[in-house]
Chains A and B, each alone.
Chain A
Amino acid sequence: LLTTMPSYKLSYFPGRGLGEVSRQLFHLSDTPFEDHRVPMDEWPAYKDSTPFGQMPVLFVDGKPLPQSFAIARFLADQFGFAGKTPFEAAWVDALADQYKDYFAEIRPFLFVVFGFGEGDKEKLKKKVAEPAINKFFGILEKRAKDNGSNGHLVGNSLTWIDLQVSDHIGVLELYLPNAISAYPLVNEIRKKTTTDPKLKEWLDKRPVTPF
């Protein structure tokens, strides 16, 4: 069955942030796409043309799709990184939702360490970051074990939640060295994910950005 591949464009800021997992899915699957990076000073003019006034936005044959996780899930489905069964795909989704809940909890700490606002870093680290990390990474460690300690969070191949968690650990370690030292199985997943040859190729050559 011959199908023509759609044309893809991903619009996001010139940083990793909420666009990185989707970029990784394109590189992992060798799918050509326009990696459209909108500089901060051009964003106000571009904003109104986006469905929700936010980025990332994925364009599939010119049709827009907003929201980073909806985009990642769509691409993962297209390219085979969303689990091998509907139930596996649902577990990837459940972990992604848990990640979102965790991110909402740790956001006040990240906001300050990223330099977006003032705050007591030490206090936020103890009261906000550490409890959030312990709760979420405890769940991930158990999940990794229940999944057979095979270097993946769901099933026996790479899924987009492996990418999301691995990317986030990289961010966390910039501000909290040894952030996941108590979670060896999660660290195994990060190592296995980031040494995937196609992904490593992208990670080695991608633009270096603060976020």
Chain B
Amino acid sequence: MPLYKLSYFEERGLGEVSRQLFHLSGTPFWDNRIPFDHWPRIKEYTPFGQVPILCVDGEELPQSFAIARYLANQFGFAGKSAFESAWVDALADQHKDYLNEIKPFLMVANGFAEGDKEKMMNEMAKPSIRKYFTILEKQAKDNGSNGYFVGNSITWIDLVVSDHMGVIETLVPNAFDGFPLVEAVRQKITSEPKLKEWIEKRPET
């Protein structure tokens, strides 16, 4: 088995899905959490000046979704066929497009930028959430309402969406009203024993 190290900040953010893949698969890894004040000094030594970074037997790989897809492929959480994997990728890309749309709201809501949080929530966040979650709800339905977005087992897009819902619900009340099948995916994923175990014991951030 290769030696794995995942470097990211001391928070869930863009590192959490990859951490979850290690825990779900029972794969040992070095969960390297970088304190914020260390970051300026080590940034220039990273491939893209960013984290997360995955190290596999000492070889580095940047970019959170490239890392998640790589680990998911290694551990069996990337769909059961090439076409299923491609659908997981398509949903992940749609997730990124959606995140780009609501980023200005998230920056303000999390205190990283100035702005009218209430106005941005109503004019930007809620419509974007509605548009993206409508796609997810239809996908969950077309996939057979079986508690997964793609195929009939956990894939990394299930983890991405479930984790993100945990972030949004602290910022936008009733964000997921009208999306029962998406809620059902989140319920199913977060009650998966190995994942539940990690979620309960992980650092609070």
A residues at B contact (CB < 8 Å): 51-52, 60, 63, 65-71, 73-74, 77-78, 86-87, 89-91, 93-94, 96-98, 100, 104, 139, 143
Q: How far is the CB of A71 from chain B (nearest CB, A)?
A: 7
Q: Give chain A residues whose Cβ lies under 8 Å from the Cβ of B85.
A: 74
Known: A90-B61, A94-B63; 12 extra A-B contacts, CB below 8 A, are A52-B94, A63-B83, A65-B90, A67-B89, A70-B87, A70-B92, A90-B69, A91-B61, A93-B65, A94-B61, A97-B66, A143-B47
Chain A's closest residue to B59 (CB) is A87
CB atoms of B67 and A74 under 8 A apart: no
The interface residues of chain B, by DSSP majority, are classed as helix
Given contacts A65-B90, A87-B59, A87-B61, contact A77 B82 (CB under 8 A): yes
Chain A's closest residue to B138 (CB) is A51
Q: Give chain A residues whose Cβ lies under 8 Å from the Cβ of B93.
A: 67-70
Q: Which of A51, A63, A70, A86 contacts B89 (CB 8 A)?
A: A70
CA distance A83 to B61 in the complex (A): 14
Q: Give chain A residues whose Cβ lies under 8 Å from the Cβ of B56.
A: 87
How many residues on chain B are close to A (CB under 8 Å)? 29
Q: Give chain B residues whose Cβ lies under 8 Å from the Cβ of A67.
A: 89-90, 93-94
Q: List 18 A-B contacts (CB under 8 A).
A: A52-B135, A67-B93, A67-B94, A69-B89, A70-B86, A70-B92, A70-B93, A73-B89, A74-B85, A74-B86, A87-B61, A90-B67, A90-B70, A94-B61, A94-B62, A97-B66, A98-B48, A100-B96
Q: Give chain B residues whose Cβ lies under 8 Å from the Cβ of A78.
A: 82
Q: How far is the CB of A126 from chain B (nearest CB, A)?
A: 22
Chain A's closest residue to B2 (CB) is A87
CA distance A94 to B49 in the complex (A): 13
Q: Give chain B residues whose Cβ lies under 8 Å from the Cβ of A100.
A: 96
Interface string of B65-104 (1 = CB under 8 A from A): 1110110011000000011011101101110100010000
CB atoms of B61 and A71 under 8 A apart: no
Given contacts A86-B74, A90-B70, contact A97 B89 (CB under 8 A): no
CB atoms of A93 and B86 under 8 A apart: no
CB atoms of A104 and B100 under 8 A apart: yes
Chain B's closest residue to A66 (CB) is B90
Q: How far is the CB of B60 from chain A (nearest CB, A)?
A: 10
